[in-house]
C-alpha cells in the first residue's frame, strides 16, 4: 500500500464492514463504476477489506466484484490484525467504515494521523465522547487528513453540509426540530396507518431501514447520536450524555440479544401503540420521533404533534430538519426527503469516497505544444 497515488493514478481504499448490507451495496456500486471505466474521477483500488471476522491486505488491489470472495477465503480471526495494519505507513489513502462499531471508531485517530482520509457511515466516530472526538480533531489537524461523514445523518440529504456552511458563514442556530431516524419514521408512520408495532418493525428490518437487531433505533440511541453530530456541525460542544433520550421501546426489553426473540417480544406492545395511534387520530395528531434543540436543551423522544405540523406530514422513512437561526428568523429553513435505506446510505458513502479520492488524486497537467514563435 502507498501513501501517494499509484503510477496509474489509482487511489488506494480500505473497506470495513465489507460484507454488511451497506458495504455489500457499496461494492456493487463500485463494481458498476469499474465496468463503466471509472470516468467520474480517479480510479479506486481496493487494497484491504474487513468484516467482524476476517480481513485481507492486497497491495495490487482487488476488483470490487471479487472482494467478498477474497474476504470469505481470508483466515478467520484476521480482522484485528488487518485493522491495526491500516495505521502503519504506507497506509491506504482512504479508509471507508461501513460498520456500526465503537471499536472501529476508536481507530480513527491512528488512521487519520497516518494520513488516511476516513469516510464514515459509522456514527460512533463523529458522535464520539469528548476524549475520542478531541483525539480525532487533533489527528486531523496534525496530518491534514479529513473525516467525511455525510452518510451518518440523513443519508443523501444535505443536512451536515448545510449546517457547517451556515456556521462557517457566522450563522448561529437558535432552535431546530427534526425527524432524524428513518427507521422510526417508517415504524410510527405505519403504526399510525393501523399496522401493529411489531409488524411495522419487522417491515422496517425487511426493507433495510433498520438493522437486523433494531435495538439502537428503537431505543432512540441512533437518533441521539445523529443529534450530537448535527449540533457539533452547528458549533456546539455536546456529547451523547447531554441528550435527553426517551426510547420508543423500554431499554429493558431491548436488552434481548437475539433479534428474532426481540421482534417476537414487541408484540406485547402492539395493543398499547394501537391505542396511542387511535387517540392521536381522534385528536387530529400523529406520532413522530422528534429530535429537538432549544434554549440549550437537546432531546429525542416519541411525541404526538398536530396533524398539520410539517414533521407530521412526512412519508414513512422520510427525514426532515426545520431550523431557525440568526439568518433564518423570518421563516425557518426546511430540508426534507427520504433519509433511510441501504441504497441511499451506500450512495452517500460513495459520494464521500469520491470526494476523499479527489483530495488525493494527482493532477494530470497537459502541456500545450509550443508555438512556432516560441521555437524560433
Residue 111 Cα distances to 88, 114, 318, angstroms? 8, 5, 33
Can you list the alpha helix ranges (DSSP code H) found in 36-101? Answer: 67-72, 79-85
User: Starting from the edge strand earliest in sequence, which strands make up the sheet with 55-62, in order?
Assistant: 55-62, 44-50, 11-16, 94-97, 117-120, 147-148
Catalytic residue among 226, 232, 286, 290: 226
The answer to whether the CB of 74 falls within 8 A of the CB of 56 is yes
- Alpha-carbon distance 313 to 46, whole Å? 42
CA distances from 183 to 29, 50, 65, 289, 321 (A): 23, 26, 29, 10, 16
User: Quick check: helix, strand or coil at residue 14?
Assistant: strand
226 is catalytic: yes
Going by C-alpha positions, the residue among 277, 342, 340, 292 that lies closest to residue 314 is 340
Q: Which residues are catalytic?
A: 226
Amino acid at each position: 500500500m502507498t501513501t501517494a497515488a499509484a503510477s496509474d493514478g489509482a487511489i488506494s481504499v480500505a473497506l470495513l464492514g465489507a460484507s454488511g448490507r451497506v458495504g455489500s451495496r457499496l461494492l456493487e456500486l463500485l463494481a458498476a463504476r469499474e465496468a463503466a471505466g471509472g470516468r467520474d474521477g480517479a480510479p479506486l483500488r481496493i487494497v484491504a477489506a474487513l468484516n467482524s471476522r476476517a480481513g485481507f491486505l492486497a497491495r495490487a488491489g482487488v476488483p470490487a466484484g471479487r472482494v467478498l470472495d477474497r474476504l470469505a477465503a481470508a483466515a478467520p480471526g484476521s480482522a484485528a490484525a488487518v485493522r491495526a495494519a491500516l495505521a502503519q505507513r504506507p497506509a491506504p489513502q482512504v479508509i471507508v467504515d461501513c460498520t456500526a462499531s465503537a471499536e472501529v471508531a476508536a481507530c480513527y485517530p491512528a488512521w487519520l494521523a497516518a494520513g488516511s482520509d476516513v469516510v464514515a457511515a459509522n456514527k460512533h466516530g463523529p458522535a464520539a465522547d469528548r476524549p475520542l472526538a478531541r483525539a480525532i480533531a487533533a489527528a486531523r489537524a496534525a496530518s491534514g487528513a479529513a473525516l467525511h461523514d455525510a452518510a451518518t445523518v440523513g443519508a443523501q440529504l444535505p443536512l451536515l453540509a448545510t449546517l457547517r456552511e451556515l456556521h462557517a458563514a457566522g450563522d448561529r442556530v437558535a432552535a431546530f426540530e427534526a425527524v432524524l431516524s428513518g427507521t422510526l419514521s417508517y415504524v410510527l408512520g405505519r403504526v399510525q396507518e393501523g399496522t401493529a408495532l411489531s409488524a411495522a418493525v419487522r417491515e422496517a428490518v425487511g426493507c433495510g431501514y433498520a438493522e437486523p437487531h433494531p435495538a439502537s433505533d428503537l431505543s432512540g440511541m441512533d437518533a441521539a447520536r445523529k443529534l450530537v453530530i448535527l449540533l457539533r456541525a452547528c458549533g456546539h460542544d455536546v456529547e451523547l450524555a447531554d441528550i435527553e433520550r426517551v426510547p420508543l421501546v423500554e431499554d429493558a426489553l431491548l436488552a434481548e440479544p437475539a433479534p428474532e426473540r426481540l421482534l417476537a417480544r414487541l408484540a406485547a406492545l402492539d395493543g398499547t401503540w394501537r391505542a396511542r395511534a387511535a387517540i392521536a387520530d381522534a385528536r387530529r395528531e400523529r406520532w413522530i420521533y422528534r429530535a429537538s434543540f432549544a434554549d440549550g436543551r437537546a432531546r429525542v423522544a416519541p411525541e404526538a404533534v398536530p396533524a398539520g405540523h410539517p414533521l407530521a406530514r412526512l412519508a414513512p422513512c422520510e427525514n426532515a430538519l426545520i431550523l431557525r437561526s440568526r439568518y433564518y428568523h423570518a421563516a425557518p429553513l426546511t430540508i426534507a426527503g427520504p433519509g433511510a435505506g441501504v441504497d441511499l446510505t451506500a450512495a452517500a458513502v460513495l459520494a464521500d469516497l469520491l470526494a476523499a479520492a479527489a483530495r488525493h488524486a494527482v493532477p494530470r497537467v497537459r502541456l500545450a505544444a509550443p508555438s512556432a514563435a516560441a521555437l524560433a
